Amino acid sequence: MGEIQVGDKVIRFDRSLTKIAYSAVPVGDAERCGCLYCLNFAAQRSSAYPSDFISLLQKIGIDPDKEGEVYEVGPDGDRRIYGGWFYFAGEVAKAGERNSTFANLEFWFVDATRLPKPAGDFGDKVAAVEFITGLPWVLSDQPEP
């Protein structure tokens, strides 16, 4: 198990098991759902995350294209707030007291026992990186007001 400290948080993770699990997951949650909000997320996924966040995901063995869940929270000025999470094989050793941030993205770690069962097989100990961020609306189709 590898270990990473981010701010006041410490996680332990199994990178190879996580990578194997992601290789069996066909698509991210946004494609699986396919609603307009998710399609708007998927359309800009490659630019949705700060590079430091992508580096962190890759260090853990997470495929940044395959979020376990993504959901739209509502508008915030000219942006929309999105939340979601990524599963990984491992555990939260220290949850810490406040969210960490990279640019306008906030993230934290949780034990995944209370989350829905992941699409891949992450073994007995499953945790997740949860995030919240703001993204523009980039589709020509607009959501219902």
Closest approach, Cβ 28 to Zn ion, in A, equals 11
Are 5 and 80 a contacting pair, CB within 8 Å? no
| Cβ proximity of 20 and 30 under 8 Å | no
Q: Which residue bears the tokens 């993504």?
A: 70
18/40 with CB nearer Zn ion: 40
Rounded to a whole number of angstroms, the minimum distance from the CB of residue 70 to Zn ion is: 7
Q: Given the structure tokens 């073994």, which residue do they identify?
A: 123
> Which residue from 35, 73, 95, 138 is in contact with Zn ion, where contact means CB under 5 A?
35
Q: Does 33 bind Zn ion (CB under 5 A)?
A: yes
- By CB under 5 A, residue 38 contacts Zn ion: yes
Identify how many contiguous H helices and E strands the chain contains and give both numbers.
5, 7
> Which of 28-36, 87-95, 106-114, 127-135 is the region at the interface with Zn ion (rule: CB under 5 A)?
28-36
